Structure 1
Amino acid sequence: MNAPAPADGARLIYLMGASGSGKDTLLRLLRACLRGGEPVLVAHRYITRDSGDSEDALRLTDEEFLRRAALGCFALRWRSHGLHYGIGIEIDAWLSRGAAVIVNGSRAHLEQAHARYPALTAVEVAVDPAVLARRLAGRGRESAEQIAQRLSRATQAFPVPPGCRPLRIDNDGAPETAAAALLDIARAKLRPVVAWREQA
């Protein structure tokens, strides 16, 4: 089911990328660059694990997550690596007020997200596999076997629905460069910069 129609100028930016690609870092840097009163909002995620200090997320137990899902409290939700992830329906209120809303989504869930928000702007954060391996190992969250599984998934193609042309942000270098490109996309000022390009 589609979400309520957003106000003029409102945009949903659906950010995706492999675990360890740096999405949370980019979102943190983007927030620090926002000007006062600028209508760009980053939605937090609800996750059934401890998110720590590295990401903007709220932890829920499995029971609480499913209770909220049954009540229709999530605009988007998915399951990955044995965990539940959700984006709250508050984003519909933000869009109705003309905000540009950025959500930290899942590549595997893009089709469902596009079905609910057909006008969304999909943005993939891409990282070289060697860089991704170092980042995953450095955060100490997964075992070697889990890291290998995530690296394997990172190189797999994901379904892109008709009418959706994802943009791509390369995040191999300074994260400030990639964050600035993401902010340009959120502001809909897509000036030519080398950090992002439209997917072929």
Structure 2
Amino acid sequence: MTAVAGTVGGALAPATDAGRGMAIVVVGPSGAGKDSVMAHAARNLAGDDHFVFARRVITRPADAGGEAHIGVDEATFARMKDEGAFCVAWEAHGLCYGVPMQVQAEVEQGRVVLVNGSRQALPAFVAAFSRLTVVTITAHAEVRAERLARRGRESGDAIAGRLERQPRMPDMPIDCITIDNSGPLEVAGGAFVDLLVGAVAR
């Protein structure tokens, strides 16, 4: 795959050459709108079998809002991890996250699989997937602060802590594309859909 860096405007290499699929890991800071951009793409690509939107296993209630996920308690998550249920697992913000092993099978079957990921877990994603592209969703700090406050999940101090955290991309070769979601969702979401459609060989 040809490396693409910087803001949206490049193109992903076709995912279906030689029948191979690929994993697209979506990362970005809190409040950037990853869930919204991915949901926009899921709505626009519904019914297209080329694409799979992976559901993560998370140690929070399934009805907590945000992304559609599989909610489990910590004991269940630990058991699943010990049993090899995840191809990638990590901890962040006091929660445990796991990507089901089935995701690897979907990629091997030639599909483009989208995963809501984490920058700190990217080395594990690189180890799990030979064909991987990272899409970073960003937004201006003031926009992120407003979104986090509107979400109502955390106190002002907790929001400030999230805004101050600036995790860095790992020092390793990774194909990466950045999309700014500071404006209307239709703009960033449309750019994301265009990238995904371009990843499928016609």
TM-score class, shorter-chain normalisation, is 0.7 to 0.9
Aligned to 2:7: none
Q: CA deviation at 1:50?
A: 2.3
TM-score of the pair, normalised by structure 1: 0.85
Q: CA deviation at 1:149?
A: 0.8
Q: Can you give the 5+ residue segments of structure 1 that lack an aligned partner in the other structure?
A: 1-5, 191-200
Confirm whether residue 95 of structure 1 aligns to residue 82 of structure 2: no
Aligned to 2:176: 166
Amino acid in the other structure paired with 1:39:
H
Structure 1: how far apart are the matches of 2:99 and 2:72? 12
Identity of aligned residues (%): 34
Match of 2:83 among 67, 71, 76: 71
Confirm whether residue 41 of structure 1 aligns to residue 60 of structure 2: no
Q: Deviations over 1:117-160 (max 9, x none)?
A: 2420011000100000000000000111110110011xx25133
Q: Greater shift after overlay, 72-81 or 29-38?
A: 29-38
Structure 2: how far apart are the matches of 1:173 and 1:85? 29
Confirm whether residue 30 of structure 1 aligns to residue 34 of structure 2: no
Aligned length: 183
Structure 2: how far apart are the matches of 1:86 and 1:70? 12
Match of 2:128 among 101, 116, 131: 116
Aligned to 1:177: 187
Amino acid in the other structure paired with 2:87:
A
TM-score of the pair, normalised by structure 2: 0.84
The answer to whether the Cα contact below 8 Å between 1:102 and 1:186 also exists between their aligned partners in 2 is no
More relative contact order, 1 or 2 (CA 8 Å, 6+ apart): 2
* Structure 1 residues 39 and 16: CA distance shift in structure 2, 3 A: same
Structure 2: how far apart are the matches of 1:165 and 1:184? 17
Q: CA deviation at 1:35?
A: 5.5
Q: Greater shift after overlay, 115-124 or 98-107?
A: 115-124
SS at 1:75's partner residue? strand
Aligned to 1:57: 69
Q: Deviations over 1:63-108 (max 9, x none)?
A: 0000000000011110011110111011011112111000000011
Task: Provide the alpha-carbon RMSD of the alignment.
Answer: 1.9
Structure 2: how far apart are the matches of 1:40 and 1:161? 29
Amino acid in the other structure paired with 1:100:
V
Amino acid in the other structure paired with 2:176:
P
Q: Deviations over 1:14-38 (max 9, x none)?
A: 1001122111111111111115334
The answer to whether the Cα contact below 8 Å between 1:11 and 1:101 also exists between their aligned partners in 2 is yes
SS at 2:23's partner residue? strand
Amino acid in the other structure paired with 1:109:
A
The answer to whether the Cα contact below 8 Å between 2:120 and 2:167 also exists between their aligned partners in 1 is no
SS at 2:114's partner residue? strand
The list of structure 1 runs, each at least 4 consecutive aligned residues, that deviate by more than 6 angstroms after superposition, is: none
Q: Can you give the 5+ residue segments of structure 2 that lack an aligned partner in the other structure?
A: 1-15
